[in-house]
Amino acid sequence: MDKKIKVTFRNQDVYEFDEGITYEKISQTFKKYYDYDILAAKVDNYIVDLSDTLKKKCNIDFYDRSSSLGNSIYTRSAVFILILAIKNILGDVELTTENSINNGVYCTIDKPILNEKVLKQIYNEMKNIVNQNYIFTKLSVSRMDAIKYFKKLNKLDKANVLKYISNTYINLYRINDIYDYFYGKMAYSTSQIKDFELTYIKKNGFVISVPSVDDPSIVSNYVHHEKMFNKFEEYGNWGKILGIRNAADLNRVVSESRVSEIVNLAEAHYDSQLAKIAEDIYNSKKDIKLVLLAGPSSSGKTTTAKKLSVYLRSQGFITHSIELDNYFTDLDKRALDANGNPDFESINALDVDLFNKNLSDLLEGKRVNLPTFNFILGKREYNNKYLQLGEKDIIVVEGLHALNDELTMSINKDQKYKIYIGPLTQLNIDNHSYIHTSDVRKLRRIVRDSKTRGYGAKETLERWPDVQLGERENIFKFQDNVDTVVNSSLIYEIGVLKTYVEPLLFNVSEDDKEYPEALRLINFLRNFLPIPSDDVPNDSVLREFIGGSCFKS
C-alpha cells in the first residue's frame, strides 16, 4: 500500500497524496484556484519544478504567469522553445538574448539571414513545438561534465560561466533533443507556453513578447521605444569592444586582476554621457532654463543630477537644484492612497500650481522665496530660501514626476530639457540568460535601504511590488517624451554589489514570504565573482548605494 503524505495548501486545507507523486499531478487538484496554467510549486517556501516529487509533509502553493516569479518562468520557457525552433528552422545558428524590453526580450542571431518571412517560420515552428507538448526534463549532472559537453558543442559562453561557480552538480533542462543551462526554473511542458509574439526589429534582431504581470491574459502589442532601444544597443556595442558580454567575461577580468582598468573605463563611459548632455545644452539654439531628470527607483538620479550640474558649470552655466519633495502638500490635506496612508507617490501629492508659479516667476527674473517641506511636522515652511536667476542660470530638477508635462505645464517646451535615466544593463549570464534591469535596481536598493534606512532585505523586497507599480504609473509611460536617455549601468557593478547584498539576502528567514525571491537573487549572484569597492571612485553613481559618495544627499 502506498504511503500517504499530508500536504497543507496555503497553510489552510490539508490533503493527502501518495509519496513520490509529482507536483504536477498534485497541481491538478488545485488548478481551479488559478486563472492560468500552473508553472511551478512553492514547497515549504522553496520554489520547485512541477516534475519534482513529494517526499515529506509540507505546505504547498503554486505559481502561474500572473505572478512575478511565474512570469519569469514563462518567459524563460518561451526562450527555450525559441532556441529549439531556431535550431529546427535555421540549423547551427546562435541566439543571444540581449536585454529585457517592453514586456519581452530583444534577441539577435549571429548570422544575417533574418527577415520577417524567416521570423514567421520560426514563430510557426514555436507553435508546433507548443502543440507537441514536450516535457521540460530536468537532469542533475556533474558541473565538470556539463562544461565538457558545452565545450564539445562550442557553447563557450555556457562552459565559461560554469567554470566560475562552485556547485558540484547543476541542473540542465532538455526539450526534444537539445540540452541547455538556465539559472531558474522551467515550466512543466511546452503546451503551457501558448501565448507569445515575435516582432522583427532590424537586421538580425527581433523581440519575443509574452503576457505581462499587469495583464497576463494577453500578449500586448510590442511598442518600440527608439531612444531606449538605441541606448541599450549602444551599451551592448561598447561591451563588445571591451570583450565583456556576459558573467564569464567579467569574471575573467576579475581573475586577471584587471578590475581597476574596467572600473575606470565604465566610469568614463558614464561620465561621457553627461558631458555630451552639457555640451548639447550649451550648443542648443533653444533657451533651455530647466533640466528635468527622472527614472525608476535606484537608477542613480541623485548622483546623475549632481554630476550633470558639474558638467553644466564647466560649460559656464550657474546651476540650481530644486527638490520636488519641498512641494508636497501639507499632510493633513493630503489624499490617501489605496492602503489608507497619505499619498506620497502620485503627482496629486505635489502642489503643482505653486511649483509652476515659482518656476514662471523665476524664468521672468523675479526673486522667489522657495518652500521647504518639514517631514517631521508634515507641513510646508518658508525659511528665506530665496532664488533669482541670471542669464546663465539653469535649474536642475530630479524626481518621480519630472518627466510629466503636468508638472511643468506653464513652462514653454523650448525652455525644458528632459532626461530619462535607468541602469540599462547589457551584461548577460550567458547567451540565453539575460539580466533583467529591475534586478540590478533591486540589488542597489537593498544595499542603500540597509545603509540609509536600516531596512533589511526582507523589508525592501516586501515593498518592491509597490515600487514597481508607482514606476509603471508615473515614469515608464513618459520615457519616449524625453530629449535623451542616460544609462547609469556600470558593467562591473554586480560584482561589487554582491559583496554588500549577499549577507543581507542570507538574513531573510526561510519562513518569510520574501524568502523565495531572496534565494533567487542569491543563486543569481553565484554566477559572479566578488569585486572589492576599493577602486570605485567617490563620485561614482554606485557610491549612491554602497556609501562613500562625495555628493551630499
CB atoms within 10 A of CB 216: 19
Average of per-residue pLDDT across 376-389 = 92
Residue 212: which of 199, 222, 198 has the closest Cα? Answer: 222
User: Given this model, what pLDDT does residue 553 score?
Assistant: 59
What CATH number is given for 69-224 in this structure? 3.30.980.10
Contacts (Cβ under 8 Å, ≥6 apart) of 519: 46, 47, 505
- Count the helix, strand and coil residues of the chain and give each as a percent rounded to the nearest 5: 40, 20, 35
Q: Contact 430/247 with Cβ under 8 angstroms?
A: yes
What CATH number is given for 4-64 in this structure? 3.10.20.30
CB atoms within 10 A of CB 139: 12
Q: What is the per-residue pLDDT across 283-328, written as a single tens digit (0 to 9) for each?
A: 998 999 999 999 999 999 999 999 999 999 999 999 999 988 899 8
Q: Where in the chain is the domain with CATH 3.10.20.30?
A: 4-64
Q: Which of 343-352, 443-452, 498-507 is predicted with the least confidence, judged by mean pLDDT? A: 343-352
| Beta strands 368-374; 428-430: pairing state | unpaired
Q: What is the per-residue pLDDT across 526-544, written as a single tens digit (0 to 9) for each?
A: 999 999 999 999 999 999 9
Q: What is the per-residue pLDDT across 176-217, written as a single tens digit (0 to 9) for each?
A: 989 999 989 999 999 999 999 999 998 899 999 999 998 999
What are 225's three cell numbers? 521605444
Q: Where in the chain is the domain with CATH 3.30.980.10?
A: 69-224
Q: What is the DSSP letter of 35?
A: S
Q: Contact 419/281 with Cβ under 8 angstroms?
A: no
* E-assigned strand segments in 120-274: 137-142, 169-175, 178-180, 197-202, 205-209
